[in-house]
Amino acid sequence: MEILNAKNLSFTYPDEDTPALSNVTFSVSEGEFVAVCGATGSGKSTLLSLLKREVAPMGKMTGEIFYRSTPTSSMSPRDLAFRIGYVTQRPEQQIVTDKVWHELSFALENMGLPSDEIRRRVAEVACFFGIEDLFDRRTDELSGGQKQLLNLAAVVATYPDILLLDEPTAQLDPIAASDFITMLKKLNSELSMTIIIADHRLEEIIPASDSLLVLGSGHIIAFGKTRAIASSLRSNPHMLTCMPAAVRIYSELANDDDEDKIECPLTVREGRDYILRCFRQDIKMRKMPEYTHKKSEALSFRNVYLRYSRDSEDVLRALSLTVYESELFCIVGGNGSGKTTALLAASGLRKFYAGNIKIFGRDIRSYKNGSLYSGCLVMLPQDVDTLFLCSTVEKELRDAGTDADSLPFKFPKAILDRHPYNISGGEKQLLGLAKLLATHPRLLLLDEPTKGLDAWYKTKIGNVLRSLTASGITVVIVTHDIEFAAAYADRCALFFRGSVVSSDTPQRFFAENSFYTTSAARMVRGIYDGAITADDVIALCRANGQRNENKQSALTGVT
């Protein structure tokens, strides 16, 4: 049964000429899991917020939205609020109250339910989400992942029919994101809640979804069953970059005459199956130039110990690590493994109590009076917003003593008049980088620069960082994004419990790991060696060529 239906929906923001959405028509049936994808600025967020009237932006809207064939414009505020749930990407700011139990009951109090009913529902939801242990905790003590689960639970407590999620996992680490998506699957399959989700983390969402809605500059490019749409994106290389590795590999390699025989793989398992069935394995490895680092050290840790207070545990334990000049060095590892703390220590913001840190061969403690930060080292924090002090992007650049034209990369000029908080995540990263580069650093420390970015911006940031290392700047990145590390790093290090357990070039590093590695590497584990990105796999498959017997069996299958 149809539950949500948009007819000829168009929307234009005030003071803008081009519509953010034009003529969007689609319908969602009850219990459907819809993934909405598209590049930044394609209108995903606008579409989702229009579907939830309370959070709809100001602007000119035409067309109509129907909820169970009633136009939403004629629905009561009560029904609208509690039938349709909405979760956005900022875990922290969506939380209203100071205690977990109060947050869970907030919407139910708004519904005017009696106390006993609220008590029952809160208990029920806390059980379903497995957050009973957190019940009495303060909301600001929770991790980002727990906060986002709490936001979801608080919305689900009202028993909505539809959940709208606008990049809910953008600010989460991969484990927390995966937990969140698992919870969505559970809500969908066990309670048949209709889910409409826009997110960049498609590797897991696409296999879970029933249908895929692809948006491009405000238009629907494609809408239909996930597998069919995924395989039809072959003609659209721009959209393809954000698809799971299996889809990208299939789309590059499948011939037109194969298309009707082998379905488009979506998961790692299906992708592996596809490669095993269709490609020979004569050439095991691609010839890659061996990476050699420079002799001079940019940053080195020697047996560094750090803890935040006297009676807490060590966050860094005997950390030893060397980064050489003009390297692009990626530090990966789980939550709380001390990655960010290592960056804070290297940037002089947190004091370590034993060992030593050298910056360009000099002890960090010998840099006095901020000389560490002038022309030497800068850090881009995880929350880039904390860097911005001015009311427009242009002022922000001027404040740092630079402008859009004198940067080593192309800066999007269209955003110069906007407030730095009101630009996309990718643009924020570029602005942050621009501000930092104005101090002419030799060592750049970045904390999660790709968090919440779409594939296009990741490529952009990756290329900018590559060009910086080519010009002699050393870049150290702390990231959860192993796909990014695999594609751009010169060397990678794995953090575990406050020290480095292994460091190597990404080819060896990711090919040796079985769990903590890219999906492309998992897909071809044991089939090909040293292939860690979808591009590596595609190149190897091409070099090997298709299996003949497969062709024949396929032919016999047809006859």
Per-residue x/- marks for another protein, 307-346, CB under 8 A? -------------------------------------x--
Integer Cα distance of 198 and 34 in angstroms: 9
Give the DSSP letter of residue 200. Answer: S
Nearer to another protein, 140 or 405 (CB): 140
By CB under 8 A, residue 72 contacts another protein = no
Around Cβ 342, how many Cβ atoms within 10 Å?
31
Interaction residues for another protein, span 81-100 (CB under 8 A) = 81-82, 85-86, 88, 90, 92-99
Listed ranges 35-43, 105-113, 180-188, 551-559: which one lies at the site for another protein (CB under 8 A): 105-113
By CB under 8 A, residue 9 contacts another protein = no
Question: Where do the H-state alpha helices sit in 157-267?
Answer: 174-191, 202-208, 226-232, 237-240, 245-253
Give the DSSP letter of residue 311. Answer: T
Nearer to another protein, 124 or 549 (CB): 124
Q: Which residues of 78-90 are buried (b: 16+ CB within 10 A; e: fewer)?
A: eeebbbbbbbbbb
- Among 231, 451, 195, smallest CA distance to 335 is for 451
Nearer to another protein, 155 or 521 (CB): 155
Alpha carbon separation from 229 to 160, 213, 266 (Å, rounded): 28, 8, 11
Listed ranges 206-214, 242-250, 355-363, 370-378: which one lies at the site for another protein (CB under 8 A): 370-378
By CB under 8 A, residue 477 contacts another protein = no
Nearer to another protein, 253 or 376 (CB): 376
Contacts of 226 (CB under 8 A, 6+ apart): 35, 206, 209, 210, 211, 212, 266
Interaction residues for another protein, span 161-180 (CB under 8 A) = none
Size of residue set near another protein by CB under 8 A = 69
- Among 264, 224, 316, 276, smallest CA distance to 37 is for 224
Residue 304 backbone class (left: φ over 0; alpha: ψ -120 to 50; beta: rest): beta
- Least distance in Å: CB of 259 to another protein? 43
Q: Which two tokens stand for residue 505?
A: 């070039």
By CB under 8 A, residue 48 contacts another protein = no
By CB under 8 A, residue 476 contacts another protein = no
The DSSP bridge pattern shows strands 84-87 and 162-166 to be: parallel
Among 223, 388, 457, 528, binds another protein (CB under 8 A): 388
By CB under 8 A, residue 537 contacts another protein = no
Residue in the block written with tokens 């869970």 = 104
- Least distance in Å: CB of 58 to another protein? 12
Among 29, 30, 68, 119, binds another protein (CB under 8 A): 119
Integer Cα distance of 199 and 206 in angstroms: 10
Among 12, 72, 139, 148, binds another protein (CB under 8 A): 139
- Least distance in Å: CB of 387 to another protein? 5
Integer Cα distance of 400 and 440 in angstroms: 11
By CB under 8 A, residue 373 contacts another protein = yes
Among 36, 61, 65, 108, binds another protein (CB under 8 A): 108
Residue 26 backbone class (left: φ over 0; alpha: ψ -120 to 50; beta: rest): beta
The percent helix, strand, coil of the chain (3-state, each to 5) is 40, 25, 35
Listed ranges 12-20, 243-251, 298-306, 369-377: which one lies at the site for another protein (CB under 8 A): 369-377
- Among 396, 328, 336, 35, smallest CA distance to 185 is for 35
By CB under 8 A, residue 519 contacts another protein = no
Sheet holding 211-216, edge to edge: 84-87, 162-166, 194-198, 33-37, 211-216, 219-225
By CB under 8 A, residue 547 contacts another protein = no
By CB under 8 A, residue 400 contacts another protein = yes
Interaction residues for another protein, span 426-445 (CB under 8 A) = 435-436, 439, 441, 445
Residues lying near another protein in the complex (CB under 8 A) are found at: 52, 54-55, 77-78, 81-82, 85-86, 88, 90, 92-99, 101-102, 105-115, 118-119, 122, 136, 139-140, 151, 154-155, 158, 344, 347-349, 369-370, 373-374, 377-381, 383, 385-389, 399-400, 421, 435-436, 439, 441, 445
